[in-house]
Amino acid sequence: MDVISVIRAKRDRGELSPEQIDWVIDAYTRGDVADEQMSALAMAILLNGMNRTEIARWTAAMIASGERMDFSSLSRPTADKHSTGGVGDKITLPLAPLVAACGAAVPQLSGRGLGHTGGTLDKLESIPGWRARISNAEMLDVLESTGAVICAAGDGLAPADKKLYALRDVTGTVEAIPLIASSIMSKKIAEGTGSLVLDVKVGSGAFMKTVEDARELAATMVGLGTDHGVRTVALLTDMATPLGLTAGNALEVRESVEVLAGGGPADVVELTLALAREMLTAAGLPDADPAKALADGSAMDVWRRMIAAQGGDSDAALPVAREQQVVTAPASGVLTRLDAYDVGVAAWRLGAGRARKEDVVQAGAGVELHAKPGDTVTAGQPLLTLHTDTPDKFDYALESLTASYDIAPAGTEFTPAPIVLDRVG
């Protein structure tokens, strides 16, 4: 085997053999295939795709690159959730403790930001003292004692994916359906969860721009999960507009705590509850009431214990960016569009995301929204507030927002898109 032959096979729209797939994943994990060579193969996969047989083998090879976890010793059924990534998508933060408060164990292995989308670990690391990396033994202890854990995948879990995940972020290959599906499902299957709910985002701020593409990705992942004995279902959810009123690390943590306290934006609460119900049903707890767990404070109690178990201080002040700049509404009327992708790019340019895999994100950077589509606005009122520690980034961020919203005349009727668009599985 040699990597050039594998690259050429996919470049020329050929089907990779099981032996080629097994070899290239193993060689890349060991360092015998260089980043630039895997970048070329990833781009060929993005452009030419993979069939179901190739995707299944690629996923199996990713799983085989490392260890598999076992949660059978836990006293609770396990349920996990994964989002394909969006702008303002802080749902994991309130969701994990909420589902745990209802009786399931949530082993939430999360990642860092990809492109214009935020990363759960980057958000949580804005909490003073919180650490993403814990051992497998610690993970089991936290799950048994609190019911929920959000952490980074250990080095032994699908190490091939860890390398490829970072590479995709900086080589323009994030959107490849085979690589998205295999990345997500290799980690989730190796993780050992009993059931899995997928949140597949659709729209400008998602990697899947159309319902058709999102449904294809969802069906691919549901099939992979089912084939490996994991009860898997997917919800297709809207990502044309940012979720909630914030996009950025500490900003989103603050908003998530508001949800756990019984408040927060309506769209964040709605999606959190929808996913919680799916997770609880998949875990064999269909009669649990997540809305009650939000209202009575039990989800907040789990949040505090979960954060403390990983060294975090849930009562400490969150970082605040040193500089802010306000974007005002240019006219009065009804806000009918606020583009999620444009807002995500602005947050990324302000320092909330990475341009290179070794970059450090700014905890306080991001975009705060003062209106959502359907709201009436007045000329001159704040529409967005940009946050960053480096004010020379403002102009670059503003470039992405020049055509990011539409304001229609006052009295214009507007019907927002539903949050949940479809269900697969």
**pLDDT tens column, 119-167:** 999 999 999 999 999 998 999 999 999 999 999 988 788 899 989 988 9
Question: Considering Cα of 235, then 240, then 245, then 247, what sign does the dihedral take?
Answer: positive
Q: Which structure tokens are listed for 226?
A: 């089912």
Q: Is 168 a catalytic residue?
A: yes
CATH 3.90.1170.30 in the chain is located at 323-408
Assess contact for 317 and 391: CB atoms under 8 A.
no
The pLDDT-based confidence of 44 (bands split at 50, 70, 90) is very high
Mean pLDDT of 249-256: 98
Catalytic, out of 39, 65, 83, 183: 183
pLDDT at 354: 82
pLDDT at 165: 82
72 pLDDT more than 80: yes
Catalytic, out of 161, 169, 267, 342: 161
Mean pLDDT of 223-233: 92
Assess contact for 387 and 324: CB atoms under 8 A.
yes
Lowest mean pLDDT segment, chosen from 12-16, 175-179, 287-291, 398-402: 175-179
194 pLDDT more than 70: yes
**By three-state DSSP, how is residue 416 classified?**
coil
CA dihedral 150, 156, 161, 165 (to 10 degrees): 50
CATH number of the structural domain 80-309: 3.40.1030.10
d(CA 248, CA 346): 10
CATH 3.40.1030.10 in the chain is located at 80-309
pLDDT at 182: 94
The larger pLDDT score, comparing residue 32 to residue 165, is at: 32
Q: Does 1.25.40.80 match the CATH number of domain 323-408?
A: no
Assess contact for 299 and 98: CB atoms under 8 A.
yes
CATH 1.20.970.10 in the chain is located at 3-49
What whole-number percentage of the chain has pLDDT above 90?
Answer: 86
**For 411, left (φ over 0), alpha (ψ -120 to 50), or beta?**
left
d(CA 344, CA 307): 26
Query: Containing H/E element for 23?
Result: helix 18-30
pLDDT at 169: 76
pLDDT at 228: 87
The pLDDT-based confidence of 357 (bands split at 50, 70, 90) is low
pLDDT at 316: 97
Q: Which amino acid is at 167?
A: L
Pairing of strands 405-408, 333-338: antiparallel
pLDDT at 107: 95
Mean pLDDT of 262-267: 96
Catalytic, out of 187, 231, 354, 393: 187
Catalytic, out of 116, 168, 215, 277: 168
Return the residue matching tokens 């995940």: 165
Q: Is 81 a catalytic residue?
A: no
Mean pLDDT of 70-80: 94
CA distances from 317 to 131, 250, 302 (A): 16, 10, 19
Catalytic, out of 57, 82, 231, 387: 82
pLDDT at 174: 83
Q: Is 68 a catalytic residue?
A: no
The larger pLDDT score, comparing residue 222 to residue 85, is at: 222
Q: For the chain, give the number of residues.
A: 425
Q: Is 83 a catalytic residue?
A: no
Q: Which structure tokens are listed for 330?
A: 């240019």
Q: Is 187 a catalytic residue?
A: yes
In this structure, CATH architecture of domain 3-49:
Up-down Bundle (1.20)
d(CA 142, CA 138): 6
Average of per-residue pLDDT values in the chain: 95
